[in-house]
Each structure stands twice: as structure tokens, then as C-alpha cells.
Amino acid sequence: MYQSTITITLRPSILDVQGKAVELGIHTLGLTGVRNVRIGKSIQLTVDAATEEEAKRVTEEACRKLLANTVMEDYSFTVTKL
């Protein structure tokens, strides 16, 4: 059994409106030196697989086919044995 931790973010070429709003809020609080705020999603899955390679394959397919909009979003993931 494996745990997959997936991070999904908008591609750098896509304007992150939510990130810009958070960045403005941070500056409004008087916190300086913060730039390029990007908001994303973190998803955790438990994958019942015999090998790490199989868990990676399942995770990759889930990301590509369902979890990420690959036109607008990038994703990365890590797989660890439970």
C-alpha cells in the first residue's frame, strides 16, 4: 500500500487571480517581500498497489485523466510506502 501526495497548480502562463488577491492581502497586512503567490491544490490518495511503480502509474493516470486540467494546470506527485 502506498500514499500518493499530489500538488496541482496553474501553469505559469495562466493568471492566478486567487493568488493575486492573497498577495494583495499579505501586502495590506504590512508584510513586505512577498511576491508571486500561487494558489494550488494538494490531494492525498492511498493506493493499494503491489509495487511503487504500479502506484506511480495509477497516480499518474488519475492526475492526467481526472484530477488535473492539463490544459491549464501542472501537477507533480510523490509516492511513499505505507
- Per-residue pLDDT reduced to its tens digit, 10-68: 999 999 999 999 999 999 999 999 999 999 999 999 999 999 999 999 999 999 999 99
Count of CB atoms within 10 A of residue 55's CB?
A: 24
- Look at strands 2-10 and 73-81 and give their pairing: antiparallel
Q: Count how many domains the chain has.
A: 1
**Which value, in Å, is the radius of gyration of the alpha carbons in the chain?**
16
Instruction: Answer whether 75's CB lies under 8 Å from 63's CB.
Output: yes
How confident is the model at residue 57, as a pLDDT? 98
Q: Which domain holds residue 47?
A: 2-81
Q: What is the pTM of this model?
A: 0.87
Q: What is the DSSP letter of 51?
A: S
Q: What is the pLDDT of residue 72?
A: 97
pLDDT score, position 3: 99
Which residue's C-alpha cell is 497548480?
Answer: 9
Neighbours of 63 (CB within 10 A): 21
**Which CATH number covers residue 34?**
3.30.1280.10
